[in-house]
Amino acid sequence: ATIDRRATALSTSPITRAQYQRFLDACPEQSAPEGWAPPRGEEAALPVVQVSWTDATAYCEWGGGRLPTNNELNRASGWERFWMAPAPAGENSRDQADRWDRPPPSLEQAWCAENSEGRLHPVASREANRYGFTDLRGGVWEWAFEGDDPTGIGRGSTLQNGGSFRTPLAELGGEWSWR
């Protein structure tokens, strides 16, 4: 399988503080994340954090795109969900929401509890996956929209996906929070 990044309009990596600052400069009506200061030096390459779903949506619209759906994000990161296949005996589709059919990414592909030293790292400083995307699992949580979920679970919901630099490797991608 291949992913056409132009068709999905997904960034190949999380948005950096420098990219988000350009958005803030161009949109003075937009409020900055809590505790924000214009990035300097090496901070510019760090992923932007503390961005609400509404602010992430505004950033995407400013750039001519939209937030990905959870399904698009999972495909781009190389993970498909168990609920896309029939449920095993004794499980329903809701039980499957936290189960994955692929192993977690390697330590070479993700910042997680085992290798992050408890801090953020520059965007795209880990190996890209087979589709050319970096940091979609670990590092920072990713906002997504569940608007085209074919199962109807969470239709219209927003969610955070992927885990963070504090998440254990074995749990990356397998945990997310409904918002």
Q: Which residues of the chain have pLDDT under 70?
A: 1-9, 79-104, 146-159, 173-179
Asked if 46 and 16 count as a contact pair (C-beta separation under 8 A), the reply is yes
Predicted local confidence at residue 146, as pLDDT: 66
Predicted local confidence at residue 95, as pLDDT: 43
Predicted local confidence at residue 92, as pLDDT: 45
Predicted local confidence at residue 85, as pLDDT: 45
Residue 119: CA count within 13 A, CB half-sphere: 5
Question: What ranges in the chain are assigned the alpha helix state H?
Answer: 5-8, 17-26, 53-62, 70-76, 93-96
With both helix axes pointing from N to C terminus, report the angle between 17-26 and 53-62 in degrees, rounded to the nearest 10: 70
Predicted model pTM: 0.76
Predicted local confidence at residue 76, as pLDDT: 79
Predicted local confidence at residue 140, as pLDDT: 86
